[in-house]
Amino acid sequence: MALLFLLTGGSMFAGVKTQIEAFKQLGLPQWFRIVTAIVQYIGVAGLIVGFWLPCIAGWSGVWLGITMLAAVFFHIKVKEPFSKAVPALVLALLALVLIWLNASSIPHPF
């Protein structure tokens, strides 16, 4: 998961044509592509730290899961075919698994 987010975040930072087109198609400004890359890199950092601190891995799962659910929302909002939202949905589900695996180490916020 960390490698995938690292690669996609890098392609967003680099301004790869497919990323630029994807954000245009979703109706999002190009500065949001950079913000999304930063959000992904924060999640990657949390996943790496999570090898030693499982609670950080759990919170990174929450962070990345919300990010991917937002991606699914934007794909649905612009009425793209569901197949375009599937990768983000799969990553959201993987984040849910990560949260579940680390649930006992995540401190309760209340």
Mean pLDDT of the chain: 93
Asked whether residue 108 carries a pLDDT value surpassing 80, the answer given is: no
By the 8 A CB rule, do 30 and 36 touch? no
By the 8 A CB rule, do 39 and 67 touch? yes
Range 37-62 average pLDDT: 94
The identity of residue 41, as a single letter, is Y
Question: pLDDT-derived band of residue 105, with 50, 70 and 90 as boundaries?
Answer: confident
Question: What's the pTM value of the predicted model, to 2 decimals?
Answer: 0.88
